[in-house]
Structure formats: structure tokens, C-alpha cells
């Protein structure tokens, strides 16, 4: 048994599940699956956000080199772009130079032996919010995860902007030496939403399901020292506490959270 604190760090999908299984969450939801509510925290499992990636493939005019310079371009190539003018990147364009197709993405026939410049557009700060909910009081049963991708119309506006800019970049004179043509069936205009819904995959960056906020926010789950509201000696230290998405991968911010929170734990237990 712990003598000082319990620290929960199971991630943005499992942490809310464990809290709810322990009786911490929205009382009505807990009762609906047969769990006796101990602490009413309606924000547990809400505000789920994730980065969604949508591909656009281009056939290369010639065999692509496999030099260190090109490898560096693949690693450092993503461009984060601020479209709404708020000082924070709204979408990201990634380039991957390869001789096959990205796993999980469609493979247009006729290009199996063609070198490919695979690109991806991702909305970095989605407006749509999903949820994690219990399917059962049995811990062995997976929770119900609803990412609610494209749940807000503003996200599709940003996607259209991203694809428009990407096509402009790939049609630039400097790319003419390398790019033969766009391949696949990615449409433009209003039909783009259907393509995004059918062909996108998660970038595995879920956040927000136990978000940190002020006491005035009744959907807050943890305070500014990662302590679960209304519970003694329980903290959450993982990506679930992020109130907003970072403009990129969640790994480094999660490590930063752990570093800062570890000092808080030491200070509070000195």
C-alpha cells in the first residue's frame, strides 16, 4: 500500500478509465454501468483530442536518392503553419520520401514500382472534442473511445487550407525536377471531407481527458500541481492533463510534464 501518494500515469485513454472504475468521474455515467460514485468529477474522460493525419501521394519523376541529405529532409521536413494568425501553428505538412506507400494508406494501382513522395496534412489544434467512456464495470473490458474527428466544422476549413497550400508547394517550379503527378483519388472542394473521413489515421497523440484547469472550471480534473480534485494523495501525470494540444508530437511535452511534476511531488512530500 502507498504510504504517501498514488501517481496515475496510464495515458489519455487508460487514465480516465481507471479513475472511473475507481468511482471518480461523472456520477450519472458511473451509475449507468453499475459503479458507485465516490467523487463527482464530470470532466473525467471528456475533451479528448487527437491529431489526425490525411495522406496525399505524388509519383516521382525519377528514382529518389537515399543519401543522408534526403534522410535529414524526411526527419526535419515537417512544416507547421499558422493560418488563423493566432501565433500558433494550425496545421502541419509532412513529407516522407520512400519507395513504397505509407502503411495504412491507400495504394493506387499502377504505381507499385514507382518511387513516391508521400505527404500528410494534419490539423494540430482540432476544435472537435471526443470522449472516453466505460462500457462496463469490468476492468478487462476496453472503454468506449469516441475521438469525434471532424466534430467541428472549423477543422475541415483548416484541412482544406492545408491541402490547397500543399498542392501549391508541390506544383512550384523547384519541385518540377522531382514530382511527376499527384496520384490517388483525393478530391478538391466539398468532396474533400469524405476523403478525409475515409483515408485518415490517428497520429496517436490523444490528450485532454483529465485536463488541468482552474477551480472555477467545473470540468477540470486536476489542479496546477496535478492533484485530482476532491481526492487526497492522488495525482495524474501524463498527457491526459494537457488542456490543449501542442503544435506537434506529444512525447516531449509529456516528458516535460513528468519532469516538472516530479519536482512538485518531492516538494509536497519534503
Catalytically annotated residue among 47, 51, 125, 205? 205
> Could you give the C-alpha distances from 110 to 55, 61, 106, 115, in angstroms and in order?
18, 14, 12, 12
H or E element that contains 253: helix 251-268
Per the annotation, the verdict on 40 as an active-site residue is no
Q: Are 229 and 220 in contact (CB under 8 A)?
A: yes
* Secondary structure class of 160 (helix, strand, coil): helix
C-alpha cell at 202: 490517428
Pairing of strands 91-98, 79-81: antiparallel
H or E element that contains 179: strand 179-183
From CA 270, how far away is CA 267, in angstroms rounded?
Answer: 5
Q: Are 207 and 248 in contact (CB under 8 A)?
A: no
Cell numbers 482544406 correspond to 160
Active site members: 205
Amino acid at each position: 500500500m502507498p504510504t504517501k501518494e498514488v501517481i496515475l500515469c496510464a495515458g489519455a485513454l487508460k487514465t480516465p478509465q481507471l479513475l472511473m472504475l475507481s468511482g471518480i468521474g461523472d456520477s450519472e455515467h458511473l451509475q449507468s454501468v453499475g459503479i458507485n460514485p465516490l467523487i463527482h468529477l464530470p470532466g473525467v474522460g471528456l475533451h479528448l483530442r487527437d491529431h489526425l493525419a490525411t495522406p496525399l501521394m505524388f509519383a516521382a519523376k525519377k528514382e529518389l536518392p537515399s543519401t543522408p541529405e534526403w534522410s535529414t529532409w524526411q526527419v526535419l521536413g515537417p512544416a507547421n503553419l499558422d493560418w488563423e494568425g493566432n501565433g500558433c501553428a494550425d496545421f502541419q505538412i509532412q513529407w516522407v520520401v520512400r519507395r513504397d506507400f505509407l502503411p495504412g494508406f491507400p495504394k493506387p494501382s499502377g504505381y507499385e514500382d514507382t518511387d513516391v513522395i508521400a505527404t500528410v496534412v494534419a490539423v494540430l489544434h482540432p476544435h472537435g472534442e471526443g470522449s472516453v467512456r466505460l462500457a462496463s464495470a469490468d476492468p478487462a473490458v476496453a472503454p468506449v473511445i469516441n475521438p469525434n474527428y471532424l466534430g467541428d466544422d472549423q477543422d475541415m476549413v483548416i484541412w482544406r487550407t492545408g491541402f490547397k497550400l500543399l498542392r501549391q508547394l508541390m506544383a512550384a517550379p523547384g519541385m518540377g525536377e522531382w514530382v511527376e503527378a499527384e496520384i490517388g483519388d483525393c478530391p478538391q472542394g466539398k468532396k474533400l471531407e469524405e476523403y478525409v473521413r475515409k483515408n485518415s489515421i490517428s497520429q496517436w497523440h490523444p490528450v485532454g481527458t483529465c485536463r488541468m484547469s482552474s477551480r472555477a472550471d467545473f470540468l477540470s480534473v486536476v489542479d496546477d500541481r496535478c492533484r485530482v480534485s476532491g481526492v487526497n494523495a492522488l495525482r495524474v501525470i501524463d498527457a491526459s492533463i494537457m488542456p490543449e494540444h501542442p503544435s506537434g508530437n506529444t512525447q516531449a511535452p509529456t516528458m516535460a510534464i513528468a519532469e516538472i511534476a516530479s519536482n512538485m511531488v518531492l516538494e509536497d512530500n519534503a
